[in-house]
Amino acid sequence: MPELPEVETVKNILNEMTLGKTITSVDVLRQQTIDGDSKEFAKSLINETISDFGRVGKFIIFYLTNNKVMISHLRMEGKYFLKDEKEKITKHDLVVFHFNDGTKLIYNDTRRFGRIKLSSLEDYMKEEPLSKVGPDPFMMKDSKLLEKAFKNKSIAIKTALLDQSIMSGLGNIYVDEVLFATKVHPETPAKLVSKKQLNEIWKASIDVLNAAIRAGGSTIKSYHPKEGISGNFQVNLKVYGKKDGTCPKCGCKLRKIFVNGRGTTYCPHCQKNPTIKEVIGVTGPIGTGKSTVSKYLGKHGYFVQNTDEIVHILYKQPSIQKEIKKFIPDLKISKGDIDRDWLRSFLISNPNKKTRLEKIVHSKVAEIVEKEIKNSKKPIVVEAPLLFESGLDLLCDKIIYVDASKQSQIEHLKARGSEVDSSLTLNKNYHTENKKKATYVIKNDKDVANLYKQLDSIFCK
């Protein structure tokens, strides 16, 4: 869909191609494209000369002689092509403006959503649709309009910015870019966005739109502002359309969600949702004491989400068992549950199968954990040995890496009755470099009192 930069680009191209041309006749090939009587529309444009062009939000304004104004909204796929009179009309050509110099301007629209309306210089801003269009960022002196409009709105800031009656010109592409530039989470309730942030959003809107206009807009899917011309700004897009790509600021994986039905890409690390309570990730090799850390934080008001427990529940689901059996046909199932000891031994001998299993399980676990985080009224602890590998680190505000010597790991594993050898074997493949990514590293080689003391100094003062 063409947005403000694309519309501005089309306006400038039309100005180059058609300014000063006089209309001799108009063929309306699809009556519904015209707002009002199509025959009267065509008749009223005869002998009118195009004297200037303007833009209001995403609407192109044709200024004509005799104080007439033509308003064009391209919607999803609207385009204008200037052709020689001899060229044939094509399937999606909906309106044809014939000029006195042997050329014709064709309005072409594959999706047929675009609309054209004729009005007067005196009334065009007073009538719909322009009477309901808010000022674009270039028309605003500051962000006070946004402050007033959003102060009582509980809807997501993404949805609020897409409301063209408040501030026009930002569509799905550029809202994502502006929110990323200002580090505002797209689901933040509009009323919780501070005055400082709104001012940054207004300024970023101008910067992003200006950059896109200079680049000729963004060619998205099949939209091109002119035959042979493609917008180049898509190469500068930071987040839009880059799901699972890398954040250019922090290097984290970008995520895609849907906000009021609109696909939205953002960085979960740079753009924090203020409505979500603090999330602490707890990770580390097997037998280091992660559960002890999580339980202690649970006693101090945190809701604990243990991913091992989630996996245990998932393993009991027939649909998950069926999916795993596709690549592990000999999977052992006892009393409706996967034999985890057998599975652990199998995965040690088949690391490629382990990787495939993790891809299935990680996505399921992440979905459950994210839902719990959104619904939790308490700060939350996410305990996950593979916190980074599963992408759960992106949901965390802070991360604790629990470390322990091999001897301590053996003691901890024996104390809880776990199988020592297989656990230590799995630990050999543990990515210890994750320690560098953690906010805090806690060494658990002494007694539990020492462990609690370390936690108290960080979280439980």
Residues with catalytic roles: 2-3, 58, 262
Asked if 455 and 296 touch (Cβ cutoff 8 Å), the reply is yes
Structure tokens at 402: 């629990």
Query: Whose structure tokens read 């108009």?
Result: 26
Upper half-sphere CA count for residue 302 (Cβ side, 13 Å): 21
As given in the structure block, the two tokens for residue 237 are 């897009």
Other beta carbons less than 10 A from residue 184's beta carbon: 27
If we measure between CA atoms, which residue out of 365, 353, 372 comes closest to residue 314? 365
Task: Give the separation between CA 286 and CA 378, rounded to whole angstroms.
Answer: 27
Say if CB 5 and CB 79 are below 8 A apart: no
Radius of gyration (C-alpha) of the chain in whole angstroms:
30
CA distance 144 to 327: 59
Q: What is the DSSP letter of 331?
A: -
% helix, strand, coil for the chain, step of 5: 40, 20, 40
Exposure class string for 405-416: b at 16+ Cβ within 10 A, else e: eeebbbebbeee
Q: Are the C-beta atoms of 289 and 443 separated by less than 8 Å?
A: no
